């Protein structure tokens, strides 16, 4: 893969936004891949019994959707040196139509010595922020 050049980036650079739809089938596939079979991610009656509005996406799956935006922008998944989020609310995944997840990002800091960019990431679903304090540090070419 071709790594994005450090000189082609500056503070304030906006990453191309990403929109993804998560369906219940995606949650089942993710459960199989991750081993996280908690029924709040696939069984509506269990989810609502514990106070959730419906089935919710795995937090790590939502993080992966956001990371996809960063890796597509920088050109190499191995260039992500650090990635962290604080979850504020779950992504509710209705049976019909799934859930839309909107991801955007902006370069908020640059380190010329390390040739890295720090990206502030915004993730929302149903018009509400899903993460706060979400950042990725990316090595650039």
Q: Which residue has the higher pLDDT, 99 or 2?
A: 99
The whole-angstrom separation of Cα 6 and Cα 140 is 5
Query: Is the residue at 30 inside a domain?
Result: no
pTM summary value: 0.93
pLDDT the model gives residue 2: 83
- Enter the tokens of residue 129: 């922020």
Query: Is the residue at 117 inside a domain?
Result: yes
Mutual angle of helices 24-34 and 59-74, in 10-degree steps = 90
Question: Tens digit of pLDDT for each residue in 89-119?
Answer: 999 999 999 999 999 999 999 999 999 999 9
Task: Give the 3-state secondary structure of 81-105.
Answer: EEEEEEECCCCECCCCCCEEEEEEE
- pLDDT at residue 83 above 80? yes
Q: Are 73 and 105 in contact (CB under 8 A)?
A: yes
Cα distances (angstroms) measured from residue 130 to each of 19, 57, 96, 117 = 14, 11, 21, 23
Query: Is the residue at 49 inside a domain?
Result: no
Query: Is the residue at 121 inside a domain?
Result: yes
Question: Tens digit of pLDDT for each residue in 18-65?
Answer: 999 999 999 999 999 999 999 999 999 999 999 999 999 999 999 999
Query: Is the residue at 39 inside a domain?
Result: no
The residue range of the domain holding 103 is: 6-21+59-139
Query: Is the residue at 135 inside a domain?
Result: yes
pLDDT the model gives residue 1: 66
What average pLDDT does the segment 114-132 reach?
Answer: 97
Query: Is the residue at 13 inside a domain?
Result: yes
**Number of folded domains that form the chain:** 1
Query: Is the residue at 33 inside a domain?
Result: no
Which CATH number is 72's domain given?
Answer: 3.10.129.10
């Amino acid at each position: 893969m071709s790594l994005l050049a450090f000189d082609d980036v500056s503070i304030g650079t906006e990453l191309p936004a990403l929109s993804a739809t998560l369906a219940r089938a995606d949650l089942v596939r993710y459960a199989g891949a991750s081993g996280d079979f908690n029924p709040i991610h696939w069984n509506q009656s269990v989810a609502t019994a514990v106070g959730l509005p419906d089935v919710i996406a795995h937090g790590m799956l939502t993080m992966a959707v956001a990371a996809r935006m960063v890796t597509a922008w920088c050109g190499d998944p191995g260039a992500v040196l650090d990635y962290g989020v604080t979850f504020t609310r779950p992504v509710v995944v209705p049976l019909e139509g799934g859930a839309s997840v909107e991801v955007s990002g902006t370069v908020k800091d640059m380190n010329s010595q390390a040739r890295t960019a720090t990206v502030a990431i915004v993730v929302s679903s149903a018009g509400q922020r899903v993460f706060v304090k979400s950042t990725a540090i990316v090595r650039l070419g």
